Structure 1
Amino acid sequence: MGFSDNSKGLILAMASSAFIGSSFILKKKGLKRAGASGTRAGVGGYTYLLEPLWWAGMITMIVGEVANFVAYVYAPAVLVTPLGALSIIVSACLAHFMLKERIQKMGIVGCITCIAGSVVIVIHAPQEHTPSSVQEIWTLATQPAFLIYVAATLSIVLALILHFEPRYGQTNILVYLGICSLMGSLTVVSIKAIGIAIKLTLDGINQMAYPQTWFFLTVAAICVITQLNYLNKALDTFNAAIVSPVYYVMFTTLTIIASVIMFKDWSGQNVSSIASEICGFITVLSGTIILHATREQEPPPPVGTVTWYVSGDSMKSPEDEHLITLRSSEYYEP
């Protein structure tokens, strides 16, 4: 007895979450190894490209994304999208055992809050119309409202890259992940267009001759490369158990916003459904704040001081001699 389409989509979505959650950890370990022997990705280095473990994580992520893409072919987004939260759980569990990254109790509460809020949003998200051709997607993408969204997104991304990243990139996780998520919301449109083009072409209706198909392919490539670059920086700079849920929440939120603007989904919804979605957004925001506020901090430097007075022939007073001061409790004797 064969599997139903929904069952196939469910299995693919769960496998996708397992692969993507694992990829965060593999890439993080690869980034750590690369950072130990070269310039860290968080400060602009690219030595991780020579690290096999990072490539293992990259391949694992690609497999997960492909499985997720195919899952949408068999099952509706309402079923597939919430299962992306499983990658958060996989990533947090593996980070605990493999990276020794501990998440505080309130961080766990924040993670659960993020997942709950995201699920509420997806459950109440309206069903979108599936375009039947690349030209139809192009018509939707060139609507004035969506063009304004694209312009605003690109403006925010440029501001984050040029102004906020040099000042706050190493201390605020929302800078790197904001860039990833904003570009990701644009990736969704392009990937959907490419998927429809491939499906129609396989059915005998060639879509490769349309310039829109290649335009969407180019946009998708640019967006994916940008996402990966800043996701690497986020993983190299911040705790993987925090990066995964915050990235999931921001990406899901912005994708739904883009969908609402592009497909005018709220126009056919009642007040109750819209209110539920807004409550979901507030819940997600609260969870994100809790996660960020309880991020594991670096341990403070140890307390203790010993001073050596260096002299060629005799010991001198501190005012007359060069001093070498070690601030370490290991050498401190009361």
Structure 2
Amino acid sequence: MISMIVGEVANFAAYAFAPALLVTPLGALSIIFSAILAHFILKERLHIFGVLGCALCMVGSTTIVLHAPHERVIHSVKEVWQLATEPGFLIYMCIVVVVVCILIFYCAPRYGTTYLVIYVGICSLTGSITVMSVKAVSIAMKLTLEGNNQFIYFQTWFFTIIVIGCCLLQINYLNKALDTFNTAVVSPIYYVMFTSFTIFASIIMFKEWDTQDASQIATETAFNNGD
């Protein structure tokens, strides 16, 4: 538990210095190692397709990292708020909220114990919003430590509340997924879905593809879809 807390704190700090498109694939690799350790320690059998899936995830993450865009320079949490309230990201958030509500209130009670994608889908969709809020809070903390206090703005506290709420929701449904299904199956599927939705949300909010050429975008898209 202590090592997990240390790792998450370090992961949190990384969002202040690098784009989510770079941090998320690297941070989520812990899920792949969880699947491998579950095979050896918990004796949950990892089939050949599971091994192949983990390998493809690692290759895809490496490729995405190699073609990651440069970090966008942000001078205030108000800039993040402006990006988060643009029409494109607001539409994405509305879609996520509607889909998550349908999964929680309709699908989960009926099919949650049968279909893994329901619990994992809730975690992954919510996670994409969590990461965007985490990046905002981490930037606010970074700027505050540099002498530019960002906690005087309500936007910082709003993002903080979103982070806490989304994290609690994710933990709840991820535990349900791990309780119901094989860890070696949950981990890779969660990794792929979480990374995909986070990259998609980051592209919409921070417009990280604006600074890249067509070949870089095509490579990232191809390997992410390959995962």
TM-score, scaled to structure 1: 0.63
Aligned to 1:39: none
After superposing the two structures, state which structure 1 stretch, 227-236 or 66-75, moved more: 66-75
Q: Is the 8 A contact 1:128 1:263 kept in 2?
A: no
2: distance between equivalents of 1:89 and 1:183? 20
Aligned to 1:221: 164
Gaps of at least 5 residues in structure 2 are none
- Residue aligned with 2:137, SS: helix
Gaps of at least 5 residues in structure 1 are 1-55, 285-334
Aligned to 2:40: 97
Aligned to 2:148: 205
Aligned to 2:220: 277
2:110 is equivalent to residue 159 of structure 1:
no
Q: Is the 8 A contact 1:186 1:223 kept in 2?
A: yes
TM-score, scaled to structure 2: 0.90
2: distance between equivalents of 1:169 and 1:162? 11
- Residue aligned with 2:46, SS: coil
Report which of the two structures shows the higher radius of gyration computed on alpha carbons.
1
Give the number of the structure with larger relative contact order, counting CA–CA contacts within 8 Å between residues 6 or more apart.
Answer: 2
**Counterpart residue identity of residue 157, structure 2:** W
Structure 1 residue 147 displacement after superposition: 0.4
**Counterpart residue identity of residue 9, structure 2:** V
**% identity of equivalent residues:** 59
Structure 1 residue 71 displacement after superposition: 3.8
Aligned to 2:115: 172
Tell me the alpha carbon deviations over residues 216-237 of structure 1, each in whole angstroms, 9 at most, x when there is no partner. 1111111011010001001101
Aligned to 2:54: 111
1: distance between equivalents of 2:15 and 2:161? 22
RMSD: 2.1
Aligned to 1:68: 11
Q: Is the 8 A contact 2:81 2:155 kept in 1?
A: yes
Tell me the alpha carbon deviations over residues 43-90 of structure 1, each in whole angstroms, 9 at most, x when there is no partner. xxxxxxxxxxxxx4xx54332211212344566767654433542443
When residues 282 and 80 of structure 1 are mapped into structure 2, their CA distance, relative to the original with a 3 A threshold, is: closer
When residues 81 and 145 of structure 1 are mapped into structure 2, their CA distance, relative to the original with a 3 A threshold, is: closer
When residues 216 and 88 of structure 1 are mapped into structure 2, their CA distance, relative to the original with a 3 A threshold, is: closer
Equivalent position to 1:268, from 174, 186, 211: 211
Aligned to 1:84: 27
Tell me the alpha carbon deviations over residues 230-277 of structure 1, each in whole angstroms, 9 at most, x when there is no partner. 010011011111222222211111111111111222233322222212
2:139 is equivalent to residue 139 of structure 1:
no
- Residue aligned with 1:99, SS: coil
1: distance between equivalents of 2:163 and 2:95? 18
**Counterpart residue identity of residue 200, structure 2:** I
1: distance between equivalents of 2:90 and 2:79? 15
